[in-house]
């Protein structure tokens, strides 16, 4: 069987605008590029380390340095790779998914078919995707909305002390459907209910993580109350009980950097579907490489938030693309379909 060489490098991506959500601001994404080579074929993967989970570019590369490629006995047996990675303990999910992504990319290239073909995807085209408007000064919001003119759905970050002002300002310049990401910003049930009552008349299609992940009984109460679909984001890494999530939310937002595996993400989608959950795929700030892996997963999802690569000004790759209605689609190329720009 194939003998693999593993390489990894820092991949520092520069943001177009300083990006602010309720927890932090930043203007660089310190990611990691992974290359897995065998038989003259290179598979590519990308990690976007998440400080919320105690990950950094350094910790990511350190974890990769400890991986022994001789542990890949049969490269097509990705479950075996997951067992090897699981045995290194919990955490390091962005490094783990980058390595698995590189192996899947290699598999597709080796077999000379796109991964969406190998996985029997319903089509090469996923859901309509949103464009995120970050938290900004109220007077700047109309310009931010105008910059998003090509995008049919806007995702608005809330969880501030001026949420209604933000929505009212946005509604003064556009009537596009909105997705809301509260990022755990509403701290009690009455506040969340009051915001949702306000949002229910504002063409809002979904609300991510209205309250903190720890407030399970309040989230369950909010699910029954809310006429708008609520989605688990901070409440969902991929390692929680699907039944418990279904009690608290209408859906789940998968992110590969949290789940730590494309294969586990696919399995979670199927388990979530059986539990009647809506399925969303999200991303971190990452290049078209990792975001093409997310776009691949989106082919099985109801909602897709895949603008991470649009927020950076030096994306080295091209892969996922968007049609006129902003539905994401995968290139007809082997593996993930990603090439250097």
Q: Using the minimum distance from each CB to its own copies, give the nearer residue, 176 or 263.
A: 263
Q: Using the minimum distance from each CB to its own copies, give the nearer residue, 170 or 297.
A: 297
Binding flag, residue 314, its own copies (CB under 8 A): no
Q: Using the minimum distance from each CB to its own copies, give the nearer residue, 118 or 189.
A: 118
Taking residues 67 to 96 in sequence order and writing x for each that binds its own copies by CB under 8 A, - otherwise, the string is -------x-xxxx-----------------
Q: Using the minimum distance from each CB to its own copies, give the nearer residue, 84 or 111.
A: 111
Query: Of 27, 33, 56, which Cα lies nearest the Cα of 46?
Result: 33
Binding flag, residue 61, its own copies (CB under 8 A): no
Shortest CB 112 distance to its own copies, Å: 6
Q: Using the minimum distance from each CB to its own copies, give the nearer residue, 16 or 273.
A: 273
Shortest CB 223 distance to its own copies, Å: 17
HEC letters along the chain:
CCCCEEEEEEEEEEEEEEEECCCCEEEEEEEEEEEEEECCEEEEEEECCCHHHCCCHHHHHHHHHCCCHHHCCCCCCHHHHHHHHHCCCCCCHHHHHHHHHHHHHHHHHHHCCEHHHHCCCCCCEEEEEEEEECCCCHHHHHHHHHHCCCCCEEEEECCCCCHHHHHHHHHCCCCCCEEEECCCCCCCHHHHHHHHHHHCCCCEEEEECCCCCCCHHHHHHHHHHCCCEEEECCCCCCCCCHHHHHHHCCEEEECHHHHCCHHHHHHHHHHHHHCCCEEEECCCCCCHHHHHHHHHHHCCCCEECCCHHHHECCCCEECCEECCCCEEECCCCCECCCEEC
Among 65, 123, 172, 203, binds its own copies (CB under 8 A): 123
Among 300, 317, 322, 329, binds its own copies (CB under 8 A): 300
Binding flag, residue 307, its own copies (CB under 8 A): no
Binding flag, residue 273, its own copies (CB under 8 A): yes
Binding flag, residue 325, its own copies (CB under 8 A): no
Q: Tell me the number of residues near its own copies by CB under 8 A.
A: 25
- Only segment of 41-49, 113-121, 251-259, 308-316 that touches its own copies (CB under 8 A): 113-121
Binding flag, residue 40, its own copies (CB under 8 A): no
Strand-pairing partners, residue 45, are 34
Binding flag, residue 267, its own copies (CB under 8 A): yes
Among 122, 175, 243, 324, binds its own copies (CB under 8 A): 122
Q: Which residues sit at the interface with its own copies, rule CB under 8 A?
A: 74, 76-79, 111-113, 117-123, 262-263, 266-267, 270-271, 273-274, 300, 302
């Amino acid at each position: 069987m194939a003998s693999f060489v593993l390489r990894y490098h820092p991949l520092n991506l520069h943001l177009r605008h300083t990006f602010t959500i309720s927890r932090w601001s930043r203007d660089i994404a310190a990611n990691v590029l992974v290359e897995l080579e065998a038989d003259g074929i290179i598979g590519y993967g990308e990690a976007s380390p998440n400080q919320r989970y105690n990950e950094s570019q350094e910790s990511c590369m350190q974890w990769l340095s400890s991986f022994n490629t001789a542990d890949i006995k049969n490269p097509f047996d990705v479950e075996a790779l997951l067992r090897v990675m699981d045995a290194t303990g919990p955490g390091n999910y962005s490094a783990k998914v980058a390595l698995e992504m590189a192996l899947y990319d290699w598999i597709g290239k080796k077999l000379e078919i796109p991964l969406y073909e190998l996985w029997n995807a319903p089509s090469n085209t996923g859901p309509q995707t949103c464009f995120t408007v970050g938290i900004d000064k109220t007077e700047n919001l109309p310009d931010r909305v105008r910059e998003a003119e090509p995008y049919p759905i806007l995702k608005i970050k809330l969880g501030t002390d001026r949420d209604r002002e933000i929505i009212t300002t946005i509604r003064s310049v556009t009537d596009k459907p909105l997705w809301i990401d509260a990022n755990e910003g509403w701290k009690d049930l009455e506040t969340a209910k009051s915001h949702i009552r306000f949002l229910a008349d504002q063409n809002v299609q979904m609300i991510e993580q209205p309250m903190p992940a720890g407030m399970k009984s309040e989230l369950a109460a909010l699910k029954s109350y809310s006429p708008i679909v609520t989605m688990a984001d901070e409440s969902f890494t991929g390692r929680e009980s699907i039944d418990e999530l279904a009690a608290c939310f209408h859906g789940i937002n998968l992110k590969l950097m949290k789940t730590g595996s494309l294969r586990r993400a696919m399995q979670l989608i199927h388990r979530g579907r059986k539990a009647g959950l809506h399925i969303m795929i999200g991303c971190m700030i990452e290049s078209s490489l990792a975001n093409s892996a997310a776009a691949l997963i989106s082919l099985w999802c109801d909602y897709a938030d895949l603008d991470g690569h649009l927020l950076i000004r030096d994306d080295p790759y091209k892969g996922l693309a968007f049609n006129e209605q902003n539905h994401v689609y995968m290139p007809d190329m082997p593996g993930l379909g990603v090439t250097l720009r």
